[in-house]
Chain A
Amino acid sequence: MTTEMLRVSVWRGKADGEFVQYQVPRQENQTVLDLVTYIQRYLDPTVSYRFSCRVGVCGSCAMTVNGKARWTCRSHVANVAHGGHIEIRPLESLPVVKDLVVDMTTFFDKWAKAKGSFEPTRSRHDDLASITSTDRQRRQVDAGIECIGCGACYATCDVVKWKPDYLGPAALNRAWTLANDVRDGGNQQRLRAVAGDDGCLGCHSQQGCVERCPQKLNPTKAIAGLKRLTVLAAIKGDL
């Protein structure tokens, strides 16, 4: 019996690199990450890529697969291959370090710029905050909290491509979860940080981020929430 082979084009080099083709044996339940791992282990050990958990938790293995940003560890070849061919490129909108590895510094710096860190209002000596699971604000937090920071939304967002300073869907989604966290005390600074054209108001609601989020989150909805909060803050004179 002959083994079915898959034609895999992998981006090699930096931004001015090129595609190199590899033939990878097809296997059952094979993921895109499996393909890259096979290439590195058996065909070309100089291929660089990034991964860690392999089960969709860490968010490190996102790449552009046949033109779409995907988490490769949970993208099955059967679902993404076009006629026995797969093209794998690094994520867009981020500088390429080498091959399939991008520099995520800008992406995470924008989380910090959007004041994406929790600002506690209580000390360890205070009682725990009492928040019910049915609380409206808590439900808003729950809807967006499972972001794994893979960068698929950021790489898909057209506004990021047009305006490199735009904070992007992931950072703004993070800001929205904190804006709804009643234990957090950093909202005024956060709303100032995410207001404006480089923040939530720059979003065109194209929903590419929603389409590509592997966790099925809705950053567009989160950004719409931030738009409401920033406008209310502006009216109240808090911006």
Chain B
Amino acid sequence: MNINTSAKTETWLWLGQRLSAVVLAVCVVVHIVTMIFAMRGGLSTGEIAGRVGGNVWWLTFYGLFVLSVSVHAPIGIRAVLLESTPISARRIGLLCMIFGLFIIVFGIKAVIGLYQLGPV
């Protein structure tokens, strides 16, 4: 796998992180507002599953949320590691790619898992 750090690649990574930040800003607000206002009987598994389970809109929303995080977080952590550690750029690139894949796989698994619970 070629993980180069050319100016072109870095520019795309930078743009990817900014665009994912825009999506995240909306997602985080919707997520928090929902948590605060849609909550009735306390923050319980039953209530969350009741709202999200079997709902295609929430499936899409949280799917998008997870995808944005999987783009945003690894690029940010890559920048932090590049600036503050002596680890080579190649290794940092690999580490962050694995981290991004970890978020996608387990994040999407969780989102689908909640959806499959169906309406409670």
Contact = CB atoms under 8 A, between A and B. Distances in A.
Contacts of A235: 15
Given A199-B7, A234-B15, 6 more contacts: A162-B84, A163-B82, A163-B83, A196-B5, A197-B10, A231-B11
Nearest to B78: A197
Contact of A196 (B7, B15, B84): B7
Interface string B69-103: 00000000001001110000000000000000000
A163 to B, nearest CB: 6
A80 B15 CA distance: 42
B29 to A, nearest CB: 23
Contacts of B84: 162
**The 8 nearest A-B residue pairs measured at CB:** A196-B7, A195-B7, A234-B11, A196-B10, A162-B83, A239-B8, A201-B14, A195-B11
A82 to B, nearest CB: 32
A230 interface: yes
A5 to B, nearest CB: 44
Contact of B12 (A192, A199, A227, A234): A234
B6 interface: yes
Contacts of B83: 159, 162-163, 202
Nearest to B11: A234
Interface of A: 159, 162-163, 192-193, 195-197, 199, 201-202, 227, 230-231, 233-235, 239
30 contacts: A159-B83, A162-B83, A162-B84, A163-B82, A163-B83, A192-B7, A193-B7, A195-B7, A195-B10, A196-B5, A196-B7, A196-B10, A196-B11, A197-B5, A197-B10, A197-B79, A201-B10, A201-B11, A201-B14, A202-B83, A227-B14, A231-B11, A231-B15, A234-B8, A234-B11, A234-B12, A234-B15, A235-B15, A239-B7, A239-B8
B111 to A, nearest CB: 30
A235 B5 CA distance: 17
B79 to A, nearest CB: 7
Given A231-B14, A231-B15, A197 B8 contact: no
A196 to B, nearest CB: 4
Q: Which of B6, B7, B14, B15 has the most CB of A within 10 A?
A: B7
B82 A230 contact: no
A58 B47 CA distance: 69
Contacts of A193: 7
Contacts of B79: 197
A202 B89 CA distance: 14
Q: Which of A163, A196, A231 has the most CB of B within 10 A?
A: A196
B34 to A, nearest CB: 32
A196 B13 CA distance: 9
A234 B8 CA distance: 7
Interface in B2-28: 5-8, 10-12, 14-15
A87 to B, nearest CB: 28
B113 to A, nearest CB: 37
Q: Which of B8, B15, B82 has the most CB of A within 10 A?
A: B8
A197 B80 CA distance: 11
Nearest to B18: A231
Contacts of A230: 7, 11
B15 A197 contact: no
